[in-house]
Amino acid sequence: MNRALISNYAFLLFASAFLSYWYVDQALALYIHTLGINVSNTFFHAVTQFGDSKYPLIGTFLFYLIYRRSDKHFARKNLYIFSAVAISGLIVDVVKVIAGRMRPELFFENQQYGFSGFKFESAFYSFPSGHSATAFSFFVALALLNPKYKPLFIVLALLIVLSRIVLLQHYLSDVAIGSAIGALSSYWIYHRYYLHAKSVRRFSLVSYKRSLSKSFA
C-alpha cells in the first residue's frame, strides 16, 4: 500500500469536508429540499437500505461460520469484510456521540446547525454518516478482493452515499468523512492483516483476533 498516497487522499478529503461544512453543506441541503425529489425518493429509499450495517455484518459472519472448515479461503474473505465493516462502524458510532452534529431535519425545523457535542439522540448523529462508512468499507473491501469489478463496486458505494444526501439524512461533509473512514478501514485491515493471514497455514477466528489485536497495539 502506498502510504503517502493514502495519507494525501485522506488529508484532501478531510480538508474538503471542513470547507464543505462552512461553505457547501447548508446551501446544498437547501437546494435539495427545494427540489422535493418525490419521484426519486422511492428509488433512493430502496438504495439507502443497503447502507445498513446489519446486512453485511450478519451475512459475512454467517458465511464465515458456514465455510470456516470446508473453504478457509472463502471464510477468510468474509471475516475480512466483516471486520472492515465492524471496525469502521465502531469508529463512526464513537465519533457521532462525541461530535453531536445536528441532522438537516433540525436545520429545516428551527435553523439549528453545527455541533453540540456528546448527544445520545438520533437527531444529533449526523456526523459522520454511518451508511456511508458501511458502504465504502464493504465495497472497497470487495474491490480489493476482486479488482476486476472495482468500478462497479465504487459506483454502488457512491449511490448509497448519494441517497443519504438526497434523503436529507446527512450533509455533504458527513458522507465525505463517513466514506473516508470506511475506505481507510478496509485498506488498513487488508494490508495489515488480510495479506498476512493468507500466508498463515492454520486459519481460525482465534488467530485472526490475535493478529488484529497486534495491529492495533
Q: Contact, 115 vs 32, CB < 8 A?
A: no
Q: What is the dihedral of CA 49, 53, 55, 59, to 10 degrees?
A: 160
pLDDT digits (tens, 9 = 90+) for 67-84: 999 998 999 999 999 999
55 lies in which domain range? 3-216
| Best CA proximity match to 139, nearest among 42, 53, 43, 22 | 53
- Report the number of distinct structural domains present in the chain: 1
- Which one has a higher pLDDT value, 121 or 205? 121
Q: Which residues of 30-41 are buried (b: 16+ CB within 10 A; e: fewer)?
A: eeeeeeeeeeee
Query: Can you give the CATH number for the domain in which 132 is found?
Result: 1.20.144
Q: Contact, 92 vs 181, CB < 8 A?
A: yes
The residues near 119 (Cβ < 8 Å, ≥ 6 apart) are: 97, 100, 125
Write down the pTM of the prediction.
0.87
Q: Contact, 154 vs 136, CB < 8 A?
A: no
Written as one letter, the residue type at 73 is H
Mean pLDDT of 177-181: 95
The pLDDT of residue 201 is above 50? no
| Best CA proximity match to 135, nearest among 40, 27, 55 | 55
